Chain A
Amino acid sequence: MVQLRTIETKTMNIQVFGTGCAKCKNLFEATKKAALESGLQESAVEYVTDMASIVEAGIMSTPALVINDVVIAAGKVPSTDDIKSVIAQQKG
């Protein structure tokens, strides 16, 4: 059981929540870049603009970056390197 867990690669659920403002697009681009550089597909990053989904996720300041249901950043744009290190942690 323990061994199985170390072999299995966790699936990554990367979401960018935004209302369509310039900062939101910047975060989406930075996250796609970080995903590519971490060996993931660009399509692994989901861009969520639907207002109901944003509020349901409990987010009040956009843009927000959510990885595997954990809010990594809200209301700011972290650098590509910061996003990469979070992805690396989650891959762990």
Chain B
Amino acid sequence: MDTFLPVQWFADWLTYSVLPLQRKTLLGESVNFFVYDTIKIFLLLCTIIYVVSIIRSFFPPEKVKTFLTRKFSVVGNILAALLGIVTPFCSCSAVPLFIGFLETGVPLGVTFSFLISAPMVNEIALVLLMGLFGLKAALLYVVSGVGLAIVVGYILGKLHLEHLVEDYVWKIKAKQTATVTAPTWQQRSKDAISYTQGIVKKVFPYVLLGVALGAVVHGYAPEQLLATYAGKDNFFAVPFAVLIGVPLYSNAAGTIPIVRSLIEKGLPIGTALAFMMSVTALSFPEMIILRKVLKIKLLVIYVAILTVGIVCTGYMFNIVL
């Protein structure tokens, strides 16, 4: 049984009984679609972000770095990419995190695996993918994101680019490792609630906008519109999608509802996936922040390899699916 059936009932009641709209009309269906999706995403946002914040309270970065110290083989990259999922991460602390990792002896390639996976596999993208596409699609996104983080981090590690990290980074030595006392369950819950409130407040306007635009596309755009222009046969569709994704930094909330409607109109899954990865993993603000610790050459190499990786992931899923 569909857990969200009551939400569907409510949406039906609101659109067809309270509002003077008719079933099987464009406007009626679009409004129904909008009401159902926004309520469902709101409920998912509240529950999943709360649960994720509780899990994350067990994996502070100070603790995570000790797991990754001196892991020079690919095992380090795998661990880092997986820990990136559960470690709280905000791009504004990317610099202290980066220096803190290197300073305790976490290899550069392993640090990159973490830096790719942490923002890409985030709870907001997860909620929207689960809500709009289902569990399978969310898992596909997580697995390919983690895979990409492992491969790109591994390659960057093999290139031995340590000399391209800003010199001052290697001179910093932590006098101590901050030991944040383990919070109580009550404290964890309190923090999780305040975090969830913050995220929902920040993200929900974009969800409303994204779902509304998605509903318009769903109702009014001609079927197979994108199949003609952005279909699997078009070699440039994937790189183009990645390019569009860059300025939409961190706006998974607004973009994923639109992507769903675009898939209905014939956008291939691989292209859509590459687009979403680019939205979450490639962003100008983060590049500017990372420039503080990476020499320009390394920043360019990092972004280039990551971009190529995302494009390849897109092609791969277009071929397989």
Spell out A's residues near B (CB within 8 Å).
19-21, 23-24, 51-52, 54-62, 64, 66, 71, 73-76
B96 with A54: CB separation less than 8 A: yes
Query: In the complex, which residues of chain A have a beta carbon less than 8 angstroms from the beta carbon of B178?
Result: 57-60, 64, 66, 71, 74
Given known A55-B99, A60-B65, contact A21–B180 (CB-CB < 8 A): no
B174 within 8 A of A: yes
Given known A62-B93, A75-B88, contact A55–B179 (CB-CB < 8 A): no
| One of B93, B175, B194, B292 near A60 (C-beta < 8 A) | B93
B286 within 8 A of A: no
| One of B96, B168, B173 near A59 (C-beta < 8 A) | B96
CB distance from A81 to the nearest CB of B (A): 12
A60 with B96: CB separation less than 8 A: yes
| One of A52, A56, A61 near B93 (C-beta < 8 A) | A61
B90 within 8 A of A: yes
Query: In the complex, which residues of chain A have a beta carbon less than 8 angstroms from the beta carbon of B95?
Result: 19, 51
How many B residues touch A, CB cutoff 8 Å?
Answer: 29
| One of A21, A51, A66, A75 near B99 (C-beta < 8 A) | A51
B29 within 8 A of A: no
| One of A19, A54, A55, A74 near B180 (C-beta < 8 A) | A74
Query: In the complex, which residues of chain B have a beta carbon less than 8 angstroms from the beta carbon of A71?
Result: 178-180
B100 within 8 A of A: yes
Query: In the complex, which residues of chain B have a beta carbon less than 8 angstroms from the beta carbon of A60?
Result: 60-62, 65, 93, 96-97, 100-101, 178
B92 with A19: CB separation less than 8 A: yes
CB distance from A67 to the nearest CB of B (A): 12
Extra contacts, 12 of them, besides A57-B175, A57-B176, A62-B93 (Cβ < 8 A), are A20-B92, A21-B92, A23-B92, A55-B103, A56-B172, A56-B173, A58-B100, A60-B60, A60-B62, A73-B180, A74-B180, A75-B90
B191 within 8 A of A: yes
B234 within 8 A of A: no
Given known A51-B292, A75-B60, contact A19–B168 (CB-CB < 8 A): no
Between A and B, 20 residue pairs with Cβ closer than 8 Å are A19-B92, A19-B95, A51-B172, A52-B172, A54-B96, A55-B100, A55-B103, A56-B173, A56-B175, A57-B176, A58-B62, A60-B93, A61-B60, A61-B88, A64-B178, A73-B180, A74-B62, A75-B88, A75-B90, A75-B93
A55 with B174: CB separation less than 8 A: yes
Spell out B's residues near A (CB within 8 Å).
60-62, 65, 88, 90, 92-93, 95-97, 99-101, 103, 168, 172-180, 191, 194-195, 292
In angstroms, Cα B57 to Cα A73, docked, is: 12
In angstroms, Cα B99 to Cα A81, docked, is: 32
Whose C-beta in chain A lies nearest to the C-beta of B61? A60
Query: In the complex, which residues of chain B have a beta carbon less than 8 angstroms from the beta carbon of A54?
Result: 96
In angstroms, Cα B99 to Cα A59, docked, is: 10
Query: In the complex, which residues of chain A have a beta carbon less than 8 angstroms from the beta carbon of B177?
Result: 58
CB distance from B180 to the nearest CB of A (A): 5
Query: In the complex, which residues of chain A have a beta carbon less than 8 angstroms from the beta carbon of B180?
Result: 71, 73-74
Query: In the complex, which residues of chain B have a beta carbon less than 8 angstroms from the beta carbon of A58?
Result: 62, 100, 174-178
Given known A58-B178, A71-B179, A74-B62, contact A52–B96 (CB-CB < 8 A): no
B62 with A76: CB separation less than 8 A: no
A76 with B195: CB separation less than 8 A: yes
Whose C-beta in chain B lies nearest to the C-beta of A58? B178
Query: In the complex, which residues of chain B have a beta carbon less than 8 angstroms from the beta carbon of A62?
Result: 92-93, 96
In angstroms, Cα B88 to Cα A49, docked, is: 21
Give the most central of B61, B93, B173: most A CB within 10 Å: B93
Given known A62-B96, A71-B179, contact A57–B60 (CB-CB < 8 A): no
Query: In the complex, which residues of chain A have a beta carbon less than 8 angstroms from the beta carbon of B101?
Result: 60
Query: In the complex, which residues of chain A have a beta carbon less than 8 angstroms from the beta carbon of B88?
Result: 61, 75
B96 with A61: CB separation less than 8 A: yes
